[in-house]
Chain A
Amino acid sequence: MSTPISVGLFVTCLVDMFRPSVGFAAVKLLEDAGCEVHVPVSQTCCGQPAWNSGDRADTREIAIEVIKAFEEFDYIVAPSGSCGGMLAKHYPELFQGDPVWHERAETFSGKVHELISFLTDVMKVERVSSKVDASATYHDSCAGLRELGINAQPRKLLASVEGLSLKEMKNSNVCCGFGGTFAVKYGDISNAIVTEKTANIEAADADMLLAGDMGCLLNMAGKLRREGKRTEVRHVAEVLAGMTDTPPIGGKRE
């Protein structure tokens, strides 16, 4: 057999800190798909907070470290459309005009994928072998949807989860109001947007809310719990990997 495909797992800072389960779910899904998973220890963050705050210099320095740590792998995979989009779409932009790093960034970015779309589009995974008895509604996180075209892929794999039924919510493709530091800098507006989102989530009448980005999940979970709504929140990878024994994000309704 040929050498297995090597995948560098870009854990993302939010998964690392808030939800290690998602990291382990990603590892399981990747290994099930036949990948050899590596987790470079020098990784921290993709640099998006600096990038979106207009701090190009710091972003570039962070990006250089990320590229150095990951460029040896066949693929770089992140359980996040937002970080995936940053690595795949914005890194080359960051080094525009730099004769050395632009090309290096281009090569690196060409190998970056978001987890779920990597499984379906690159590894040609048709189904997963997990079982979860519940109904779920899926929120399309913005960066994944619009920068990386992730829409059908998670739904396709979710459809193969035994016992799971998918209930679409209204406006699943509309922003949840997170937007990184936006949620804090413009808290009132963010609140108005997420309030509309949680109303749509509740109307979908599903047991679980799933999405592919921890930022959005923390935001929606935080609001759902504050509003005392029943929907439990998980990263889509947890369900696909059948790892739903852990308490949901933000816990359960009391």
Chain B
Amino acid sequence: MQITSPGFKRNATRALGDEQLQKALGHVRSNFIDKRAAAAAALPEFEALRDNAKAIKDHVLENLDIYLETFEERVTAQGGNVHWAATASEARGHILDICRKAGARSVTKGKSMITEEIGLNSFLEKSDITPIETDLGEYIIQLRGEHPSHIIAPAVHLNMDQVRDDFKKAHTHLDANRAMDEPEILLKEARGVLRDRFLNADVGITGANFLVAETGSSIIVTNEGNGDLTQSLPKVHIVVASIEKIVPTLEDMSQIMRVLARSATGQEMSVYTTLSSGPRRPEDPDGPEQYHVVLLDNGRSEMIGTEFQDMLRCIRCGACMNHCPVYHAVGGHAYGWVYPGPMGSVLTPKFIGVDKAGHLPNASTFCGRCEEVCPMRIPLPKMMRHWREQEFEKHLSPPAQRRNLKLWAWVAKRPTLYRLATRIAARGMSVLGGRRHRLGWLPVASAWTKHRDMPTPEGGTFMAQWKGKR
């Protein structure tokens, strides 16, 4: 997909002025937050489970090489195939090979952010294979030629009237005058259209929420059931998963499962949690004849042992963006690549380069709400700060900003000079503010006064007054 992260500021300003988007984001601002809070409060063990979930993933990351080998061995033992991909292009190559060998023309897809990361859909289309997104939200945005704006609610940036118009345009085989004014009707229509696609697909591609080393199982967690139809009806099931999805045992998976849905949608449990292990067995009446797992690295292994390792605990629940004031304001597309919100602000610089994605880790107030709700206790603000440090070290931050910062730091390290400077500034601004005690416009702070007044200082500094009093 086209990267627009360097234009984050422009994207953001456009998003702030987009009425449809702002209306749609209203749902994120309340729904997800209240539901998560209720689900967390209803489970007394929730905080302890978060600690344990973190410990499990930390253990995995310390032994990831061995767990991956173990996983591979179990998949193979059950008749499946594992394909290793160091890069996105390798992963696409593996998938295309499998599809070609199966003579595939149409591919159904369960919701998968990894396939967004590797740009699979456009690649398959160029190779004359039709990818069909089957998650309702993904289906809608595929019709619109868009990308997900949220990792678990891909069409959260849209309102019903937009979906209705898209369906009208796309489903030309249906009566043009049909009733379409309820979400139920639209859902039913999509169900009908997609049912045929499910039954006729040659290959089904899903992501994975977990990979269990103990049994070689891949797990998807969904609500619609589309992922299950995707992976049980076609002859070939391809799982595309990144290497950090590994958990040691079924028991470990159960622990993390308990914090996943609660953090994501506020459900105690998503409707469908499905474990797939290998292809159908000889006696099975249904299920795929082939089972492939494409294991994608795409730079993740480079994060191990660095200040970004904690990010590999991420289970893609979306809680960080659901609670992020910046995401609430601008939505997911403004971030300009696959992963939005705080998790995206940490991941995107890794994937597309901090030179392109530098805005993202800077566009945070460090309010810390993301870390507060992250089920895996990932210190997201700390990692965003690490990116800022890299930018500073590489001289990527704007020169004027650097100069101001350096000047300020130079003065801050010289108390006598600092005292003098602050006294002059405080006095000067105070005089300007006068009895209104504020300024509507201040040349050096125009970015501030564009939107709000600048309260002016009371007069003398505290330090000067203190010296006078004591």
List residues of chain A with CB under 8 Å of any chain B CB: 11, 13, 15-21, 23-24, 39, 41-45, 47, 49-56, 58, 61-62, 65, 93, 142-143, 146-147, 173-175, 177-180, 182-194, 196, 218-219, 221-223, 225-226, 233, 246-251, 254
Instruction: Decide: B453 and A189 in contact? CB cutoff 8 A.
Output: no
Q: In whole angstroms, how far apart are the Cα atoms of A245 and B362 in the complex?
A: 39
List which B223-239 residues lie within 8 A (CB) of chain A. Answer: none
Please list the 9 inter-chain residue pairs (A to B) with the smallest Cβ-Cβ separation, ordered nearest first: A179-B365, A251-B437, A54-B388, A54-B392, A222-B452, A250-B455, A175-B367, A20-B462, A191-B451
Instruction: Decide: B463 and A254 in contact? CB cutoff 8 A.
Output: no
A-B contact pairs, 25 of them (CB 8 A): A13-B422, A17-B425, A17-B426, A20-B459, A20-B462, A39-B470, A43-B463, A44-B411, A44-B413, A50-B405, A53-B388, A53-B405, A54-B389, A54-B390, A56-B389, A142-B365, A146-B371, A178-B365, A189-B12, A189-B16, A191-B451, A223-B451, A225-B455, A233-B455, A251-B436
Instruction: Decide: A20 and B465 in contact? CB cutoff 8 A.
Output: yes
- Distance in Å: Cβ of A26 to nearest Cβ of chain B: 9
- Specify which of A16, A52, A247 is in contact with B463 (CB 8 Å cutoff): A16
Write the chain A residue with the least CB distance to B363: A186
- Specify which of A43, A93, A175, A248 is in contact with B365 (CB 8 Å cutoff): A175
- Supposing A16-B461, A58-B406 touch, asked if A146 and B16 sit within 8 A by C-beta, the answer is no
Cβ of B326 under 8 Å from chain A: yes
Instruction: Decide: B458 and A219 in contact? CB cutoff 8 A.
Output: no
Write the chain A residue with the least CB distance to B426: A17
* B440 neighbours in A (Cβ, 8 Å): 226
List which B431-455 residues lie within 8 A (CB) of chain A. Answer: 433, 435-438, 440, 445, 447-448, 450-455
Q: In whole angstroms, how far apart are the Cα atoms of A11 and B415 in the complex?
A: 14
Instruction: Decide: A62 and B412 in contact? CB cutoff 8 A.
Output: yes
Instruction: Decide: A175 and B451 in contact? CB cutoff 8 A.
Output: no
Q: In whole angstroms, how far apart are the Cα atoms of A248 and B435 in the complex?
A: 11
Instruction: Decide: B438 and A250 in contact? CB cutoff 8 A.
Output: yes
Instruction: Decide: B455 and A147 in contact? CB cutoff 8 A.
Output: no
Write the chain B residue with the least CB distance to A53: B405
Q: In whole angstroms, how far apart are the Cα atoms of A21 and B465 in the complex?
A: 10
- Distance in Å: Cβ of A178 to nearest Cβ of chain B: 7
Instruction: Decide: A188 and B12 in contact? CB cutoff 8 A.
Output: yes
Instruction: Decide: A174 and B325 in contact? CB cutoff 8 A.
Output: yes
Write the chain A residue with the least CB distance to B470: A39
Cβ of B272 under 8 Å from chain A: no
Instruction: Decide: A184 and B447 in contact? CB cutoff 8 A.
Output: yes
Instruction: Decide: A250 and B453 in contact? CB cutoff 8 A.
Output: yes
Cβ of B2 under 8 Å from chain A: no
Instruction: Decide: B438 and A251 in contact? CB cutoff 8 A.
Output: yes
Instruction: Decide: B448 and A183 in contact? CB cutoff 8 A.
Output: yes
Q: In whole angstroms, how far apart are the Cα atoms of A15 and B405 in the complex?
A: 20
List which B413-430 residues lie within 8 A (CB) of chain A. Answer: 413, 415, 418, 422, 425-426
Q: In whole angstroms, how far apart are the Cα atoms of A137 and B12 in the complex?
A: 31
Instruction: Decide: A146 and B365 in contact? CB cutoff 8 A.
Output: no
- Distance in Å: Cβ of A101 to nearest Cβ of chain B: 16
- Specify which of A49, A187, A254 is in contact with B405 (CB 8 Å cutoff): A49
Cβ of B377 under 8 Å from chain A: no
Cβ of B397 under 8 Å from chain A: yes
Q: In whole angstroms, how far apart are the Cα atoms of A219 and B415 in the complex?
A: 26
Q: In whole angstroms, how far apart are the Cα atoms of A21 and B462 in the complex?
A: 8
Q: In whole angstroms, how far apart are the Cα atoms of A55 and B404 in the complex?
A: 12
List which B362-400 residues lie within 8 A (CB) of chain A. Answer: 362-369, 371-372, 382, 385, 387-393, 397
Seed contacts A16-B462, A179-B367; 19 additional CB < 8 Å A-B pairs? A21-B458, A49-B405, A49-B408, A50-B412, A53-B392, A54-B397, A182-B366, A184-B448, A185-B401, A186-B9, A186-B12, A222-B438, A222-B452, A223-B451, A225-B453, A225-B455, A226-B451, A250-B453, A251-B437
* A187 neighbours in B (Cβ, 8 Å): 447-448, 450-451
* B458 neighbours in A (Cβ, 8 Å): 18-21, 246
- Specify which of B12, B447, B454, B459 is in contact with A222 (CB 8 Å cutoff): B454
* A249 neighbours in B (Cβ, 8 Å): 437, 455
* B93 neighbours in A (Cβ, 8 Å): none
* A24 neighbours in B (Cβ, 8 Å): 462, 465
Cβ of B13 under 8 Å from chain A: yes
Write the chain B residue with the least CB distance to A26: B462
- Specify which of B391, B462, B470 is in contact with A23 (CB 8 Å cutoff): B462
Cβ of B409 under 8 Å from chain A: yes
Cβ of B460 under 8 Å from chain A: yes
- Supposing A184-B445, A249-B455 touch, asked if A193 and B329 sit within 8 A by C-beta, the answer is yes
Instruction: Decide: B467 and A41 in contact? CB cutoff 8 A.
Output: yes
Instruction: Decide: A222 and B463 in contact? CB cutoff 8 A.
Output: no
- Specify which of A13, A49, A54 is in contact with B391 (CB 8 Å cutoff): A54
Instruction: Decide: B405 and A45 in contact? CB cutoff 8 A.
Output: no
Give the most central of B12, B367, B369, B405: most A CB within 10 Å: B367
Cβ of B119 under 8 Å from chain A: no
Instruction: Decide: A218 and B405 in contact? CB cutoff 8 A.
Output: no
- Distance in Å: Cβ of A81 to nearest Cβ of chain B: 11
Write the chain A residue with the least CB distance to B451: A191
Cβ of B137 under 8 Å from chain A: no
* A146 neighbours in B (Cβ, 8 Å): 367-369, 371-372
* A222 neighbours in B (Cβ, 8 Å): 438, 448, 452-455
Q: In whole angstroms, how far apart are the Cα atoms of A58 and B412 in the complex?
A: 10
Instruction: Decide: B392 and A55 in contact? CB cutoff 8 A.
Output: yes
Write the chain B residue with the least CB distance to A39: B466
Instruction: Decide: B455 and A221 in contact? CB cutoff 8 A.
Output: yes
Instruction: Decide: B436 and A185 in contact? CB cutoff 8 A.
Output: no
Q: In whole angstroms, how far apart are the Cα atoms of A180 and B328 in the complex?
A: 19
* A17 neighbours in B (Cβ, 8 Å): 422, 425-426, 457, 461-462
- Distance in Å: Cβ of B14 to nearest Cβ of chain A: 10
* B368 neighbours in A (Cβ, 8 Å): 142-143, 146-147
* A62 neighbours in B (Cβ, 8 Å): 409, 412-413
* B385 neighbours in A (Cβ, 8 Å): 51-52, 54
Instruction: Decide: B12 and A55 in contact? CB cutoff 8 A.
Output: no
* B415 neighbours in A (Cβ, 8 Å): 41-44, 65
